[in-house]
């Protein structure tokens, strides 16, 4: 029986679940337990993951929401919820360890291949954002809490020889550590901009998000994603 390992709840990482299940009813789906409710329920994911900012007075436009709703593709049950620490047996002497890498989403998972020193981290660290093929910065990293920084430190402590992600070229050697360091440093920049804005009397999340996007971008797509990090740092600074 084939299994589908879902790294996290996001339209580009689990939007095809329903179509896969319809095409092959015998498939079993695995995801992080903390993301299960979103992965299983498209409406809930849309409401809580993509529309979280609307109570603060800003959010995605209607066309973007319609596109996400269409691409999510409908509900699909998850068979097994994972917490990290499990192993996936791929053969008689071939095992991968499941890593819990929260921050981008609460239940984000990765895989550790100890035989090759390879970490498959998908979106667990996102440097200063996602780029197009020409190297143009498109959208900021989204992270909801301090767990994102703890995840980056955890990955660095593993000392991977190889790093495999969803949105960047494969990395190895010193490039791995440099990427993780840049990802961590970016969170310090978001916190710095947030602290500066608060010091100047800006306490509205929408305004702080616009300030962060302006100072750390430009981000032509999904600039509001940086607002999740801004809100997290407001909490760390004791203002929410």
| Rounded Cα gap, residues 108 and 131, in angstroms | 21
pLDDT digits (tens, 9 = 90+) for 195-229: 999 999 999 999 999 999 999 999 999 999 999 99
pLDDT band with cut points at 50, 70 and 90 for residue 240? low
| The token pair that represents 120 in the structure block | 């498959």
Q: How many domains does the chain have?
A: 2
Q: Is the pLDDT of residue 1 over 60?
A: no
End-to-end C-alpha distance for the chain, whole angstroms: 47
Give the per-residue pLDDT at 68.
97
Q: Is the pLDDT of residue 239 over 80?
A: no
| Rounded Cα gap, residues 112 and 132, in angstroms | 27
| Domain range enclosing 16 | 3-81
- Residue 136: count of CB within 10 angstroms of its CB: 9
Q: Does residue 94 belong to any structural domain of this protein?
A: no
Are the C-beta atoms of 199 and 228 separated by less than 8 Å?
no
Handedness of CA 46, 49, 50, 52 (dihedral sign): positive
| Rounded Cα gap, residues 143 and 125, in angstroms | 9
Same domain, 25 and 72: yes
Same domain, 198 and 124: yes
Q: Does residue 157 belong to any structural domain of this protein?
A: yes
Q: Percent of the chain scored above 70 by pLDDT?
A: 99
Same domain, 47 and 136: no
pLDDT digits (tens, 9 = 90+) for 153-188: 999 999 999 999 999 999 999 999 999 999 999 999
Helix (H, G, I), strand (E, B) or coil at 45: helix
pLDDT digits (tens, 9 = 90+) for 69-118: 999 999 999 999 999 999 999 888 899 999 999 999 999 999 999 999 99
Same domain, 229 and 117: yes
Same domain, 18 and 67: yes
Same domain, 144 and 214: yes
Same domain, 35 and 122: no
| Rounded Cα gap, residues 84 and 57, in angstroms | 36
Q: Does residue 219 belong to any structural domain of this protein?
A: yes
pLDDT band with cut points at 50, 70 and 90 for residue 120? very high
pLDDT digits (tens, 9 = 90+) for 8-50: 999 999 999 999 999 999 999 999 999 999 999 999 999 999 9
């Amino acid at each position: 029986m084939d299994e589908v390992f879902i790294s996290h709840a996001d339209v580009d990482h689990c939007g095809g679940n329903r179509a896969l299940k319809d095409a092959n009813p015998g498939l079993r789906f695995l995801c992080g337990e903390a993301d299960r409710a979103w992965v299983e329920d498209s409406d809930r994911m849309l409401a809580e993951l993509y529309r979280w900012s609307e109570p603060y007075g800003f959010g995605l436009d209607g066309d973007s929401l319609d596109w996400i709703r269409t691409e999510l593709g409908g509900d699909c049950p998850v068979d097994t919820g994972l917490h990290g620490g499990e192993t996936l047996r791929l053969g008689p002497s071939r095992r991968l360890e499941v890593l819990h890498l929260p921050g981008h989403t609460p239940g984000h998972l990765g895989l550790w291949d100890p035989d090759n020193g390879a970490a498959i981290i998908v979106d667990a660290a996102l440097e200063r954002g996602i780029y197009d093929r020409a190297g143009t910065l498109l959208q900021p990293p989204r992270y909801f809490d301090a767990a994102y920084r703890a995840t980056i430190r955890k990955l660095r402590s593993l000392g991977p020889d190889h790093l495999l992600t969803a949105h960047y070229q494969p990395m190895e050697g010193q490039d791995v550590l440099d990427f993780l360091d840049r990802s961590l440093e970016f969170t310090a920049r978001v916190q710095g901009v947030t602290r500066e804005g608060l010091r100047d009397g800006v306490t509205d999340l929408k305004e702080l998000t616009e300030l962060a996007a302006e100072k750390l971008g430009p981000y032509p797509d999904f600039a509001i994603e940086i607002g999740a990090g801004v809100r997290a740092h407001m909490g760390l600074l004791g203002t929410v």
